Amino acid sequence: MTVTAQATLADFGEPLSQTTFVVVDLETTGGSPRDCAITEIGAVKTRGGEVVGEYQTLVDPGQAIPPMIVALTGITQAMVTTAPRIGEVLPSFLEFLGDGVLVAHNARFDVGFLKAACAAEGYDWPRPEVVDTVTLARRATTKEEAPNKKLSTLARVFGTAVTPNHRALEDARATSEVLHGMLERLAAFGITHREDLDALRNPVPATLRRKATMADRLPAKPGVYVFRGPRGESLYVGTSRNLRSRVKSYFTRGETRRGIREMLELAVDVDATVCASELEANVLEIRMIDALRPRYNRRSMRPERARWVRLTDERYPRLAVSKAAAGRDGWLGPMRSGSAAREAITALEDALGVRTCTTRLTIEPRAGARACILKDTGACAAPCVRGASAGYETAAESARAALAGEVSSVVEALAGAVANHAERLDYERAKEVRDSLSAVVDAAARQERLRSLAACRIVAVRRIDDRWELMATAGGALTGASRVEHGVWAAADALRSTWDGLDLGAPVLIEEQELILRWLERPGTRLLHVDGEWASPVDGAGRHLRWVEAKRADPADGSTRR
């Protein structure tokens, strides 16, 4: 059950007529923020071509102003003697900047000084979107009318009412007029929204820009998109909170990834699936990539790399790495990589005495067979010699218990080994043992989390922005999602009904289960329906809490429900 909200400007992208620009100009004691300082800040805030605010202040640089700078700007040492230092100025300037687009002429210079000042005074740089009017001028003016891109030249070209004079506020005013003059020109080339500004910094070939019309018929909603090739083949699968805006950005922003640029040149169409939430979109994306194996998705080239540790099927089993699509009972994992699986095997062998030789042993040891040095060191129960098979059965049973998640004996043995190596100052070996033990513990914890999720059926809710976002999961898979403004319990019941006659079919991808777990474990998540046992993230592996439905208040409408 999904309630569709009325479309907003954010759904279609922000028109430049609604964008807040903060045009900034600085005067400084020199050209490098490493050894020079700011002497004046001027800024003009505009929206829709109208000035909505101005900011100006002199700044005491804390150093002498060179005579050449005095001659250029007219700012003397006497003028800044009583001015505030930059640490006093920054809070008010950053507040004035807000979330506007920062504009400057030769923006690298101004932004460099502002970032250095923030770092020196302990303020976080807000990382605003930055537009350089020099870059815009290269796209909006010809060499004939503006042989150079100096501010004074551009002010003449656009006939600004303010003449630049190397004072911060006057130069910011002139730059603001130049900015809006250039944006009027660029509108004829499709630069009409805030998202289009990136195309000016990273030019896009005309052949690709013409393909931007592919996005026109897509909804401005969250979901998954698929680029199609000439034969309808899947080229690339992606996800976005705003399908139309994201797909359009491929053709209006300069794509630097060679593979994606090649994909865009091949693409002839794009289709999309709308999703109720970001979680549903992310899950659908990984399912589609797994099913379609699109040529240009990196994940297609490296399917889930999960590995499991198992015992081999023989009389005297050994530990081995498995690449099966899903683990089985009695397998430890999933591991995040093959190297993690090998480290876990090393830990289990060291702690439990599981044999490391690769020879396939006979049921009854051969007469006269001799054990290797591992038996003498106590590292192997040596089932290869007569009379030792019973001892190896104990080691094998301990290994089966550890693979099932009971790793306390392994932790106890190897924690002692780490301490012993450290006492002997053999820190390198202590680190190796610690890392191999961590691989076992991490895998056991991950196994417990995934096992608990697979054993439950859950409907949960979280407040995101101005809506309630719900999800349902069963058997480790996402079975439904919705986003509502009111009627949380009705939406929860609708999602719960999807469990009736549910047949998951293929094994659930580990990535999907991890996405669901991260969603459930975020602060503010409430469980509305829970069938089965759910392992609380704070309780640790092996300890479960049985969640039962109790009287709960509907977060949206205040009703109660048992």
| pTM of the complete model | 0.61
- Look at residues 430, 428, 441, 487 and name the one whose alpha carbon lies nearest to residue 461: 487
Q: Which of 159-168, 218-227, 304-313 has the lowest mean pLDDT?
A: 304-313
Neighbours of 417 (CB within 10 A): 19
Query: Is 3.40.1440.10 the CATH classification of the domain at 202-301?
Result: yes
Q: Specify the CATH number for 11-191; select among 3.50.50.60, 3.30.420.10, 3.30.750.200, 3.30.360.10.
A: 3.30.420.10
Beta bridge partners of 43: 24, 55
Could you tell me if 59 and 89 are in contact, meaning their C-beta atoms sit under 8 angstroms apart?
yes
Cα separation, 255 vs 236, in Å, equals 14
Q: How far apart are the first and last CA of the chain?
A: 21
Most confident of 37-46, 383-392, 430-439, 486-495: 37-46
Q: Is 50 helix (H, G, I), strand (E, B) or coil?
A: strand
Cα separation, 489 vs 20, in Å, equals 40
Query: Locate tokens 């019973």: which residue?
Result: 390
Question: What pLDDT was estimated at residue 7?
Answer: 41
Q: Which of 1-5, 44-48, 133-137 has the lowest mean pLDDT?
A: 1-5
The residue annotated as part of the active site, out of 105, 166, 193, 544, is 166
Residues 97-131: pLDDT tens digits? 999 999 999 999 999 999 999 999 999 999 998 99
Q: Is the pLDDT of residue 375 over 60?
A: no
Q: Is the pLDDT of residue 304 over 70?
A: no
Cα separation, 203 vs 463, in Å, equals 40
Please list the alpha-helical segments (H only) found in 455-504: 488-496
- Look at residues 237, 234, 403, 387 and name the one whose alpha carbon lies nearest to residue 310: 403
Q: Enumerate the domain spans of the chain.
A: 11-191, 202-301, 307-444, 455-561
Q: Is 465 helix (H, G, I), strand (E, B) or coil?
A: coil
Q: Is the pLDDT of residue 61 over 80?
A: yes
Please report the beta strands in 400-548, taking only residues with DSSP state E, as ranges in sequence order.
457-464, 467-474, 477-484, 526-531
Could you tell me if 459 and 491 are in contact, meaning their C-beta atoms sit under 8 angstroms apart?
no
Q: Is the pLDDT of residue 230 over 70?
A: yes
Question: What pLDDT was estimated at residue 465?
Answer: 79
* Max Cα–Cα distance, the chain, nearest Å: 105
Cα separation, 245 vs 223, in Å, equals 12
- Look at residues 243, 229, 231 and name the one whose alpha carbon lies nearest to residue 284: 243
Determine the average pLDDT of the residues in 39-59: 95
Average pLDDT, the chain: 82
477-484/130-132 β-pairing: unpaired
Is 486 among the catalytic positions? no
Q: From residue 135, how far is each of 103, 148, 292, 457 by CA, in Å?
A: 11, 12, 41, 55
Q: Is the pLDDT of residue 152 over 90?
A: yes
- Look at residues 260, 267, 269, 215 and name the one whose alpha carbon lies nearest to residue 242: 215
Angle in degrees, 0-180, between the axes of helices 107-121 and 86-97, rounded to the nearest 10 = 120
Question: What pLDDT was estimated at residue 186?
Answer: 85
Question: What pLDDT was estimated at residue 475?
Answer: 86
- Kindly tell me the sign of the dihedral angle through the C-alpha atoms of 530, 534, 538, 539: positive
Residues 178-206: pLDDT tens digits? 999 999 988 877 778 777 776 666 667 77
Cα separation, 335 vs 207, in Å, equals 45
Residues 9-45: pLDDT tens digits? 344 467 888 899 999 999 999 999 999 999 999 999 9
Question: What pLDDT was estimated at residue 425?
Answer: 85
Residues 425-443: pLDDT tens digits? 888 888 888 888 888 888 8
Could you tell me if 236 and 203 are in contact, meaning their C-beta atoms sit under 8 angstroms apart?
no
Question: What pLDDT was estimated at residue 380?
Answer: 61
Cα separation, 294 vs 154, in Å, equals 47
Cα separation, 156 vs 146, in Å, equals 9
Question: What pLDDT was estimated at residue 547?
Answer: 28
Most confident of 301-310, 407-416, 445-454, 478-487: 478-487
Cα separation, 23 vs 41, in Å, equals 11
Q: Is the pLDDT of residue 219 over 80?
A: yes
Determine the average pLDDT of the residues in 380-385: 60
Question: What pLDDT was estimated at residue 101?
Answer: 93
pLDDT level of residue 449 (50, 70, 90 thresholds)? confident
